[in-house]
Structure 1
């Protein structure tokens, strides 16, 4: 019989104050450890640790999902026309030039040369695009103020907007030099690829869409491949 049982059997006027049960002391909180700061420098990945994945295609063998494709050529050769034809095909779920069908999806278009009202939208209409699924990137709102779209600054915001749309399959940037300042042409292209990787556009999931970049007519880059056929 425990001491507590004895107290329970005593008359109320005989029983001493009931002892309180002792609660176990709370374990002391573990001291917080600050995360180990990694030194600055080049980050290397061993090839044996890379998880190999297949290329996903929007247009088989021509437009790969999550990759950058460069349209390059002399002035007046139809670079913007080709890019808009891509946009029209994707938005309407049409057919590619080789006859393969294209699953319908949304398209983002940023142009530093042509006006959507009198040039881009009419050309897309003539190409049979579904204008409900084409979205022109006009500006970025920062602290209530509308500012010109800047990929180096606004790519994360553009990724968030694409996530809200939900089915973006193509991003057209025309031209790449106007979108990302710098000379020569290799510099803005590299900067664009860095910013879109930080925003997650080159990874899987929403937003992992092909990027079609049109080379500026004054650029001295000699690459003449049209859309990166592998």
Structure 2
């Protein structure tokens, strides 16, 4: 929820007008006066005792003070992250209203190849896959990245709502998948995951898991070798 308020508007206007009045007058004898109004936005999150968001609020439900003095609230804009944006008719508005980027939740899914166990990485990948397919809200943004001491930080997918690319990045972790070996680390961006995020077949999933396991093992061996070289050097 974002709360837009107007603070000390009267004093600001008076000061600005007084300053303008003291300015030298033009030769034509005309006097120019300017006034400035400052609107301050204050983000407010309203929840009940159970941590659930409180809906249906208006400006009348809030009270704002500035140095102990009651200040005017010019308006309240409600942003509900659980609200699904309905597609507007193309003839009227081809761009349906959506929350501003700052109000969206951002999720960064990072997989550490150097300091995580094999089983831990596979469990993390399975949990991330479930989150991408069923846990993300309509307006959430997510990104997928990997890290190892050998190759460093790699951003596989930048923040996006595209669950197709997110799902594929989590599934392959940036490695070539079974049956589609390629040197392009972003090849997953051109593959479609299972329809509507449905689970893959057992055979296909087992094959993908095996490839991921082998790739992670290779990455961990490379990281360990690099660590040993640094220790000896």
- Structure-2-length-normalised TM-score: 0.19
Instruction: Using CA pairs under 8 Å that are at least 6 residues apart, name the structure with larger relative contact order, 1 or 2.
Output: 1
Structure 1 or 2: larger helix share?
Answer: 2
- Structure-1-length-normalised TM-score: 0.19
